[in-house]
């Protein structure tokens, strides 16, 4: 049985896919940053929670800036206001992390959890909008699910031990990063210079 995607003429214009494909590199960069954070969590598990939280703050800040940039340029299938909210949440999480590193771990975990859930929900919405325009949109859905599950774990188990948190964050970041990178490579062939 052939896929409806295979029957699509190569010249057909899909604005949603085109806008994502122009920015395939942003998914690649976000995925690479996530993997770096995840690998660092496993390589140096003895790192203090404060240091790990600062690394997360850097990632959240960078991710938020990329989301805001996408909202400003308009090269996004998401509503710009939604992407701006997710970007502001990421920047706020990063700034709070650097401004108040001595905050109680529990309070910071709730900020991290809220950011992960919001980011994951946005990715799932985007994947649903893409399902008729690109194959393997499930990669973006899985990365969104990783993010939501990670946030839910932090919300329901805030007293989790430091080492468990480090490994949970590391596993989440690596899995999430791999899914984003795989999705970016699915988008890249659809990018083409505008005429």
Rounded distance, CA 7 to CA 2, Å?
Answer: 8
What 3-state DSSP class applies to 14?
coil
pLDDT tens sequence for the chain (195 residues): 444 444 444 445 677 777 777 878 888 898 898 898 888 888 877 665 667 677 778 888 888 888 888 888 876 666 778 778 888 888 888 888 777 766 645 666 777 788 889 888 888 887 787 777 767 677 778 888 988 988 888 788 766 656 677 787 788 889 889 988 988 888 888 776 554
pLDDT of residue 46: 62
pLDDT of residue 47: 62
| CA distances for 11 relative to 7, 133, 186, 193, angstroms | 12, 13, 18, 14
On whether the CB atoms of residues 115 and 60 are closer than 8 A, the answer is yes
pLDDT of residue 63: 85
pLDDT of residue 80: 78
């Amino acid at each position: 049985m052939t896929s409806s995607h295979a029957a699509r003429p190569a010249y057909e214009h899909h604005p949603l896919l085109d806008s994502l494909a122009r920015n395939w590199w942003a998914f690649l960069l976000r995925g690479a940053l996530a993997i770096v954070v995840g690998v660092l969590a496993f390589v140096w598990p003895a790192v203090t929670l404060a240091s790990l939280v600062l690394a997360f703050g850097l990632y959240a800040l960078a991710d938020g800036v990329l989301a805001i940039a996408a909202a400003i340029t308009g090269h996004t299938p998401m509503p710009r206001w939604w992407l701006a909210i997710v970007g502001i949440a990421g920047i706020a999480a990063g700034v709070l992390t650097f401004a108040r590193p001595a905050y109680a771990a529990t309070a910071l975990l709730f900020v991290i959890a809220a950011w992960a859930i919001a980011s994951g929900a946005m990715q799932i919405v985007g994947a649903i909008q893409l399902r008729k325009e690109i194959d393997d949109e499930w990669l973006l859905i899985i990365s969104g699910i990783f993010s939501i599950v990670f946030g839910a774990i932090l919300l329901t188990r805030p007293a989790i031990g430091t080492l468990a948190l480090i490994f949970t964050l590391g596993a989440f970041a690596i899995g999430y990063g791999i899914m984003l990178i795989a999705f970016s490579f699915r988008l890249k062939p659809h990018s083409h210079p505008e005429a």
